[in-house]
Amino acid sequence: MNWIVKLRDKLFGLNKLEYNFLFGKINQNQDYRFKELKAIEVLKPYFPKEYVFETSFSLSFQTIQHIANDIVINRPKIILEIGSGLSTIILNNLISDLDYNPEFISIDQDGDWQKYLQPQCPRVKFFAFGITSSNEFSYERKGEWFDIPNTCEVRFKSYDLVIIDGPKGFGSKFARYGVVEFLNGRVNGSSILFLDDTDRPDEQFVLRNLKEKFSMLYVSSNGRYTRLSRDTSIITSPS
């Protein structure tokens, strides 16, 4: 048997550990793609009528399906989405189909982009904020985050569901950390948080801070996004 292993290593330039790691990654990627296809089928009735503009910045369809499950089950009264996009349209259409009327707020740094989305999202209130340095909510007040005016209504709400996919991560170190400080006093005991891109080191840092600051006991992750809550009476993660 040893000679077969040696022959394999010689032919493919792989040792046993490398071989197992490589094919483990292949299986992982295949499983991810399969779940994406399942999510697409589930969400298809809520796609925009025009072209479906999915990009590398978009939430995965699995993430959107998980958020949709929470909306169906928990009926959050106030939703905050940080980072407007395809998910905004899909969730707007789902909410319209469910015939319930939450307050759905979506904030982004690109007002022109939101103007494109707005006609397709009658249930959504859009807010565009510039990004400022030494922001009051940023990490150690040295980084960048959304410049939300003191009088803006976004500051005076408690959010039941928060979707964090912005601002864009290339702006500064820990670009999304601002949400940790911003949500202080703006979430409640039943709030659910979704943080995208938790396969990245910066978002891992944000995730740890969200978990500790808000005593989030239940953390569900597929590696690329993470859901946080204080209780979990019903499991909403897709199979």
Three-state SS letters, the chain: CHHHHHHHHHHHCCCHHHHHHHHHHHHHHHHHHHHHHHHHHHHHHHCCCCCCCCCCCCCCHHHHHHHHHHHHHHCCCEEEEECCCHHHHHHHHHHHHHCCCCEEEEEECCHHHHHHHHHHCCCEEEEECCEEECCCCCHHHCCEEECCCCCCHHHHCCEEEEEECCCCCCCCCCCCCHHHHHCCCCEEEEEEEEEECCCCHHHHHHHHHHHHHCCCCEEEECCCEEEEECCCCCCCCCC
Q: Do 199 and 218 fall within a single domain?
A: yes
Write out the residue range of the structural domain in which residue 33 sits: 2-43
Residue 239 lies in a domain: no
Q: Do 66 and 35 fall within a single domain?
A: no
Residue 125 lies in a domain: yes
Query: pTM of the prediction?
Result: 0.87
Look up tokens 């493919």; give the residue: 12
Q: Do 29 and 112 fall within a single domain?
A: no
Q: Do 121 and 58 fall within a single domain?
A: yes
Residue 235 lies in a domain: no
Q: Do 162 and 215 fall within a single domain?
A: yes
- Higher-scoring residue by pLDDT: 172, 146: 146
Q: What is the mean pLDDT of residues 76-105?
A: 97
% pLDDT > 90, the chain: 73
Residue 236 lies in a domain: no
| Cβ 80 vs Cβ 105: under 8 Å | yes
Residue 102 lies in a domain: yes
Kindly report, residue by residue over 82-92, the tens digit of the pLDDT.
Answer: 999 999 999 99
Residues 130, 204: Cα–Cα separation, whole Å: 25
Residues 127, 88: Cα–Cα separation, whole Å: 13
Q: Do 150 and 219 fall within a single domain?
A: yes
Q: Do 146 and 220 fall within a single domain?
A: yes
What pLDDT sits at residue 19? 46
User: Shortest CA distance to 52 belongs to which of 3, 105, 120?
Assistant: 120
| Cβ 174 vs Cβ 139: under 8 Å | yes
Kindly report, residue by residue over 125-136, the tens digit of the pLDDT.
Answer: 999 999 999 999
pLDDT class of 28 with cuts at 50, 70, 90: low
Residue 58 lies in a domain: yes
Q: Do 34 and 83 fall within a single domain?
A: no
Q: Do 166 and 209 fall within a single domain?
A: yes
Model confidence at 10: pLDDT above 90: no
CATH number of the domain bearing residue 212: 3.40.50.150
How many domains is the chain partitioned into structurally?
2
Residue 238 lies in a domain: no
pLDDT class of 49 with cuts at 50, 70, 90: confident
Model confidence at 207: pLDDT above 50: yes
Quote the crossing angle between the two packed helices 16-43 and 61-74, to the nearest 10°.
50
Residue 234 lies in a domain: no
Q: Do 182 and 93 fall within a single domain?
A: yes
Q: Do 134 and 55 fall within a single domain?
A: yes
Q: Do 22 and 34 fall within a single domain?
A: yes
Computed over every residue of the chain, the mean pLDDT equals 88
